[in-house]
Amino acid sequence: MSNIDIICPLYNAEKEIENLHKSLIKQKNVNINEIKYILTQSEDNTEQKLKQLNLEYEKINKEDFSHSLTREKVALKSKANIIVFITQDIKIIREDWLYNLTKDITSGEVEACYSRQICNNNTIEKYTREFNYGKQSKTVSKKDIEELKLKAFFFSDASSAIKKEIFVQLNGYDGKNLPINEDMYIAYKIINKGYKIKYCADSEVIHSHKFTLKQYYNRYKNAGRFFKENKYFDNYKINKLGGNLAKYILKRVIQDKNFRVFINYIPNMIVRLVGMQVGKKF
């Protein structure tokens, strides 16, 4: 059985850390070597909560946090066979979540995996999750790039696993400070080196947000900046992906008679588009 290190950055996680940790230690049929929490200096009582729960953690200053570098630093020091990245805001309901996420790496079938994410609120994110995280598992390799285009590199470190040996071989995130899409960055390297990534529909987490239009704009602006700084992704057209997502959301909103999301639909789509273009331009 492979041993596993779980790496979880924390920031203002006072309300989440206790239940998250309980759900991690309840996982069955796995060998967890360490659960590594990295606490960015917070404005709530996360640190006191960690101490109260007698949990080990590493603390860093706000200016030192990086979505890529913070994860990379801890992952490269890991002694485990498999590295699992999670975020503090996922909710793990199933006790086989981790087993289902890592079993195909342990067996040698694939080198990386990511979980199914389910949104439990009635925002536009509910339909985005449905579109991106279907009910069927699938494996992607280099031969699928021609068909999937950019979608071949879809990956999410809200709940993901990578074989430690491969993470080291690929030099993680290459020491780059990536404000977003660090998961896509490494997925590109995994796939193009001839390795495989599996989407594990039976490894479920609940992952929900309620973003404002301003937050969507900032996220997509950062995404645009990412694509500007990593222009090789321009070689992989989106193959109508954005249009298909927009159509799917609209169809499902109408089916659900979700009038609040319907009213917000056009402004949301515009904000995403404008944010992406601004990020690419500036």
Q: What is the pLDDT of residues 235-247, one digit of tens each?
A: 887 655 557 888 9
| pLDDT tens for each residue of 92-131 | 999 999 999 999 999 999 999 999 999 999 999 999 999 9
pLDDT cut 70: percent of the chain above it: 98
Q: What is the mean pLDDT of residues 31-60?
A: 96
Kindly list the domain boundaries of the chain, sorted by start residue.
3-210, 211-282
Q: Can you say how many angstroms the Cα of residue 171 is from the centroid of all Cα atoms in its chain?
A: 19
Within 10 angstroms of residue 174's Cβ, the number of other Cβ atoms is: 12
Fold designation for 3-210: Spore Coat Polysaccharide Biosynthesis Protein SpsA; Chain A (3.90.550)
Rounded (10°) angle between helices 259-281 and 213-229: 30
pLDDT the model gives residue 162:
98
- How high is the pLDDT of residue 127? 96
Please, which pLDDT band fits residue 1 given cuts at 50, 70 and 90? confident
